[in-house]
Chain A
Amino acid sequence: MPPEVYLNVAVGGVLTGLVYGLMALGLSVIFGVVRVVNFAHGEMMTVAMYIALTLFSALHLDPLVMLVPIAAVLFVLGYALQAGLINSFISRPEHNQFLLLIAIAIIIVNALLILFGPDSQNVQTAYGYQSFQYGPLIVDATKVYAASTAIVVAAVLFGFFRYTLLGTAIRACADNQTGAVVVGLNVKQLYALTFGIGAACVGAAGCMLLLIFDVTPSVGPAYTLLAFVIVITGGLGSMPGAIVGGVLIGLTEAIAGLLFTPSAKSMFVFAILVIVLLVRPQGIMGKRAA
């Protein structure tokens, strides 16, 4: 096989991986602070994808332009979900939260099926079929735009947690919940804000993924699983870990598809997860829990 094929495939894998990373980032933020594992993560993203799709087909608004408003909508949804439902489950055992979110996931998938029908849908942007060519290297334009946006969104998020007062408060809450209560922080509200931020992340990721992939109501669970794999590989609760995990998984899928039969490429993704769990259970960038 010509060597440029490897290069093409690897570049494509890294770009897709960056968007995967942003999606997983939301999951990681939520777990890192609220300690709830969001089993409805992929389903929440399909909600964002359908909002973007509706805006595009009705008003011809580009998903990348609509990224901020859609992220805001998802923020509100996430905030309401945490404040209205999940906060009362915080002190309950893990499996109770799991069951709650599974129920929410089932509701989302079937509500979308009823509302939007079963067919896979996508948006047709002007740049949808463009690609850049540099000698033998051909790069998908959509992936470049989506990946660059993912980097920007991730950077904004890092900045928020590091440099703003609210971000610092949320981190304090994650590090030591009791301490946060003692110094007078409203933990429940911070949790709701965090869940909202995590949801906004998937909202943004959904807008970008809609440019690359089609959406069907039943696609949610697959994204949930993918987000889990990425986050655990990168380190649950670690923000840079989510991005690193996303790139690693994107790259693995691509290269494995090239070297072996593509239909088996997800086996390699799961194999990576198993290896990481065994060699470094806290994930590549994760901190070892005390």
Chain B
Amino acid sequence: MSRKSYPGNKSATRRAVSAGLGAAALAGFASFNIVRAQTAALKVGVLLPRSGVQAGIGQDCQRGVDIAPGILKELGLPALEIMNGDTETKVEIARSRAEKLISDGAQVLVGAFDSGQSTAIAQVAEQKGIPYIVNIAAAPQITEQGYKFVFRNFPTAGMILSDAFANQKELFEAAGASPKTAVFMHINDTFGTAMKGGIGAVMPKFDLPYTLVDTIAYDPAARDLSVEVAKAKATGADALLMVSRLNDAILLTRELVKQRWSPMAILSMGPGWYEDQYLKTLGKLSDGPLSFVPWYDPNKPLSKKLEDALAKAHPGVNLNTNHVYTFEALLVAADAYKRAGSSDPKALADAIRNVNITNNVSPGPGIQFNEKGQNDKLKGSAIQNRGGKLVTVAPKTAANAKVEWPLKPYDKRG
């Protein structure tokens, strides 16, 4: 995709000119810039779907925002002034809120969990020349549009799948057993469809021990998943391969119990199966499922800090993907602000582009962006529910426990 020249509207041109001047003057007035940077907090507009259909996830992401200031301070990073915007789970509102935050002085935008809303925000950010860091959203298109101000520290659907299959093979080897057949169930929403689309292309590369006997898509608004589970059970597959959300993960588990079907393994490649609500609601029945997801590396020092901060701010909430990647988006903003030494959007965008944070939370070498603004070095983990807690079982470099295999049958759990 060709690179387009810098936006030509009034305000942006003014900004470009001042950026140019700023860069020229930087050498001479560097000390002045740094002083200014230390005094004024960077204004970060955080856009999340905190009401409407995705309210649950949006408010969970917000917890990652809540714990950020203390940790950033500890890391010696400049302070952020958080400006909250609720997208109400609507594309139109996401767009107008982004405009509002920018007009109120936001210098960086962060958000918005959902791919549609994120795309709407990305356009505003790009037009205004304000850096936008996507916290979570897996639609590959977001970083394939040639945007220069949009960055994503979250894996695309293809990356999630590749890591999932690699980690699955590692686990099968460790367990000394593997399923021969699997049935693939997925939610028919943006994420589920992106994953289903990727599976055909990615799966053959991994020479997996199992074959897919059936693919069952279900409605995100489904109130009842008894039919879906009956259909999956009838295939007689060894394992259940899943892409779901929270509600449906709970419904599915309940149906597995009621319909008396315990597959050898539940291999989930999305949210739901590891979330607090899942563990709390299902108790003993929540143990066992494996989730192959963008997670955090429990062995990294910063992870411990995040866990402690979250335990303090929200007791009883386990650290998860939503918190980690929302936090890391803010981490990138603070880090870039420190290095740029100014809140000029162009300078900030350049600083974000050259970010290299190794003291981070997510698995992999750290946070760096490729020329498309995508962090392509992120690694996925495999986690398992164990007694209401979560342990990382793969990859070996980011693991803190061994896998339990196979899934303990639901009717033998007392």
Contact = CB atoms under 8 A, between A and B. Distances in A.
Contacts of A5: 230-231, 233-234
B254 A9 contact: no
Contacts of A133: 260
A258 interface: yes
Contact of B218 (A113, A117, A263): A263
Interface string B266-286: 000000000001000101010
Interface in B294-308: none
Contacts, number: 102
Contacts of A16: 224
B226 A12 contact: yes
Contacts of A217: 55
Interface string A10-26: 00110010000000000
B278 to A, nearest CB: 10
Contacts of A257: 218, 227-228, 231
15 contacts: A5-B231, A13-B227, A117-B59, A118-B51, A118-B58, A120-B56, A129-B254, A212-B223, A213-B223, A214-B250, A222-B223, A262-B218, A262-B222, A262-B227, A266-B219
Given A216-B56, A222-B221, A266-B219, A129 B285 contact: yes
A266 B219 CA distance: 8
A213 to B, nearest CB: 5
Contacts of B11: none
A9 B226 contact: yes
Interface of A: 1-2, 5, 8-9, 12-13, 16, 110, 113, 117-120, 122, 124, 128-131, 133, 138, 140-141, 212-214, 216-219, 222, 253-254, 257-258, 261-266
A117 B260 CA distance: 33
Nearest to B410: A129
A118 B226 contact: no
Nearest to B54: A118
Given A12-B227, A16-B224, 8 more contacts: A5-B231, A133-B260, A213-B223, A213-B224, A257-B218, A258-B231, A262-B218, A262-B231
Contact of A118 (B55, B188, B228, B234): B55
Given A119-B277, A266-B219, A113 B250 contact: no
A216 B247 contact: yes
- Residue among A119, A222, A264 with the highest chain B CB neighbour number at 10 A: A119
B246 interface: yes
A13 B227 CA distance: 9
B337 to A, nearest CB: 31
A16 B5 CA distance: 59
A38 B302 CA distance: 53
Given A131-B258, A213-B223, A261 B53 contact: no
B273 to A, nearest CB: 15
A110 B221 CA distance: 19
A172 B216 CA distance: 51
B235 to A, nearest CB: 9
Contact of A138 (B55, B59, B254, B258): B258
A71 B373 CA distance: 56
Contacts of A219: 223
B34 interface: no
B358 interface: no
Given A5-B230, A140-B258, A262 B55 contact: no
A157 B385 CA distance: 47
Query: 8 closest Cβ contacts across the A-B interface?
Result: A118-B55, A257-B227, A263-B188, A263-B217, A118-B56, A131-B258, A262-B218, A129-B257
A14 to B, nearest CB: 12
A212 B226 CA distance: 11
Interface string B47-67: 000111101101100000000
A7 B257 CA distance: 19
B259 interface: yes
A110 B51 CA distance: 8
Contact of A258 (B227, B247, B251, B281): B227
Interface of B: 50-53, 55-56, 58-59, 188, 216-219, 221-224, 226-228, 230-231, 233-234, 246-247, 250-251, 254, 257-260, 277, 281, 283, 285
A262 B226 contact: no
B197 to A, nearest CB: 15
Contact of B55 (A213, A218, A261): A218
B227 A1 contact: no
B258 A130 contact: yes
Contacts of B218: 257, 262-263
Contact of B216 (A113, A253, A262): A262
Contacts of B254: 128-129
B281 A122 contact: yes
Contacts of A110: 51
B258 to A, nearest CB: 4
A276 B210 CA distance: 45
A15 to B, nearest CB: 10
A171 B157 CA distance: 59
B193 to A, nearest CB: 10
A264 B228 CA distance: 12
B117 to A, nearest CB: 16
B219 A263 contact: yes
Nearest to B193: A263
B203 to A, nearest CB: 20
Nearest to A4: B234
Nearest to B217: A263
Contacts of A216: 56, 247
B85 to A, nearest CB: 17
